[in-house]
Amino acid sequence: MPHRWLSSSQPRTLVTEAESSFQAPTLMHRRMPTTSKMEFVPANAHDGIPMYSILNKDGTIADGAEDPKLEKDLLLRMYTTMVQMNVIDHIMYESQRQGRISFYMTHYGEEGVLIGSAAALDDKDLVYVQYREYGVLLWRGFSVNQTMQQCYATMYDYGKGRQMPIHYGSTQHHFVTVSSTLATQMPQAVGTAYAYKMSQKKQCVACYFGDGAASEGDAHAAFNFAGTLRVPIIFICRNNGYAISTPTHEQYSCDGVAAHGPSYGLTTIRVDGQDIFAMYNAMQEARRFVMEEQKPILIEAMTYRIGHHSTSDDSTAYRSVDEVRTWDEQGHPITRLRHYLMDHGYWTEQQDKEIKAAFKKEVLQTIKDVEKVPKPPVSYLFTDVYKDMPPHLEGQMKYMLGHIKQYKDQYPVDLFAKEQS
């Protein structure tokens, strides 16, 4: 007969199943049915999770779906923000190729995931990201000037020039600074959500990550903590088909990242990430749910990374040009929404040309201005490590500054702001 140890403050007593107050076997907080038949559950026992979609590739509403009928101003803001991000990407990618900045990552094809989800959040909800979520920050009002100050590591960069390009962070925009290491932000996001729950804060946490990050241990720790602690967090997985050069079929054999959700106690949905309406609706409902229920949600956004992983990558080595062209020409999130807007008389080809030209002019002028801004003082390498700089660090700083002064002809000192006396 099965036995269990009954915990109490008294010495442990052996209790049989018949003597227990439990009427059925339990696994933690869940009751399980019993069976006398031995049966292994096959890996493909369940049908795949369907993908929620509203907008067809040609911008029409799918059969059986309802037009969300969003306000015109919101629709135009969504569209122009996606276009603006696309223009910035094109120019900044070329800037890196020209040697003006050291690194860059584009968002081609994933604009719908970012803008659709950002539009449904409260601007005070705290956002943790991976590194391809600039659109969320742009939606919240992060300016082109602030963007260039960061990418060019100037003295006016919020991060004081200490981060590599596209590693944005802004407290006023409730956007936690990017960390290159995959999935490290995920347990941190759960911790913040738990603090929000304990303090009854009227905000939630949104945590973005990619399909590659979902293979990291930190991702599964975060899912488990979120499920067991029941916290108000929305996980958004950008499943763009590749973890750098590794396609998804080599990353997992299950039904995608969404398949992990229910097993960790996460309410889950799979969404067409190329469909900005589906992303907006799903995110809006997800936020309502996590705030009212104080429980986590996982959204797997199915999208495609049209660009290279980064400026350090050449994706032609592991995927065909035809594959990329197909995704770019068929169902691109910007194209879908543009068709919808034009079909409803909200947008014209002329307006499209004008807005793209205006964004291009703004970005190029901003780069021209920012390139004249000095880098932070060299001493910033040592500040902000401690509230008050300890003697050993101060000694190192003085030694380095003295060295640079002595050999100033060997260093590009003119690029840096002068040290404050």
Q: Which residues are catalytic?
A: 94, 180, 309-310
- CA angle, 359 as apex, 357 and 360 as ends, to 5°? 65
Q: How is residue 404 written in tokens?
A: 């640079």
Q: Indicate the angle between helix axes 144-151 and 349-370, nearest 10 degrees.
A: 40
Q: How is residue 333 written in tokens?
A: 């999130």
Q: Pseudo-torsion of CA 296, 302, 303, 308, nearest 10°? A: 80
Burial of 238 (0-12, 13-18, 19+ CB in 10 A): buried
**Tokens 């135009």 found at:** 76
The half-sphere exposure of 2 on its side-chain side, counting CA atoms within 13 A, is 9
Phi and psi torsions of 208, nearest 5° = -95, 145
Burial of 147 (0-12, 13-18, 19+ CB in 10 A): buried
Q: How is residue 417 written in tokens?
A: 């702001």
The DSSP code for 60 is P
In sequence order, what are the beta bridge partners of 205?
126, 233
Measured CA to CA, the distance from residue 131 to residue 15 in angstroms comes to 54
Phi and psi torsions of 248, nearest 5° = -60, -30
Measured CA to CA, the distance from residue 251 to residue 245 in angstroms comes to 11
CA distances from 236 to 108, 247, 392 (A): 18, 19, 44
Q: What is the gyration radius of the CA atoms in the chain, in angstroms?
A: 26
* Ramachandran region, residue 345 (left: φ > 0; alpha: ψ -120 to 50; beta: rest): left
| Residue 178 and residue 166 in contact, taking contact as beta carbons nearer than 8 Å | yes
What is the identity of the amino acid at 411?
A: Y
Measured CA to CA, the distance from residue 162 to residue 177 in angstroms comes to 11
| Residue 170 and residue 392 in contact, taking contact as beta carbons nearer than 8 Å | no
